[in-house]
Amino acid sequence: MSGLSVLYGVGIRDAIASSDLSKMKAVAEQAKKAIKEQGDIHAAFIELQEAIKKLE
């Protein structure tokens, strides 16, 4: 994943809880990049779940 660490809601919420503005801005930039690169990961996850169910 091109040097970008995987983002999860927990990491984003931890940045918010830190009240560290520079950390929050850095995580926000990382999230923007991840969203741009990954697109709609939620829809892809649903498709994955459906494919798994078909094979079970």
| 3 within domain boundaries | no
pLDDT at 18: 95
Say if 4 falls within a structural domain.
Answer: no
Q: What is the DSSP letter of 3?
A: T
What gap in Å lies between CA 17 and CA 28, rounded to an integer? 14
Q: What is the pLDDT of residue 36?
A: 84
Which residue in this structure is represented by tokens 């999860």? 8
Question: Which residues, given as ranges, of the chain have pLDDT below 50?
Answer: 1-4
**What is the DSSP-derived secondary structure letter of residue 28?**
H
Model-level pTM?
A: 0.64
Q: What is the pLDDT of residue 45?
A: 84
E strand spans, 1-56: none
Q: 32 lies in which domain range?
A: 9-55
| Number of domains making up the chain | 1
| Residue 23 placed within a domain | yes
Chain CA centroid to CA 47, Å: 17
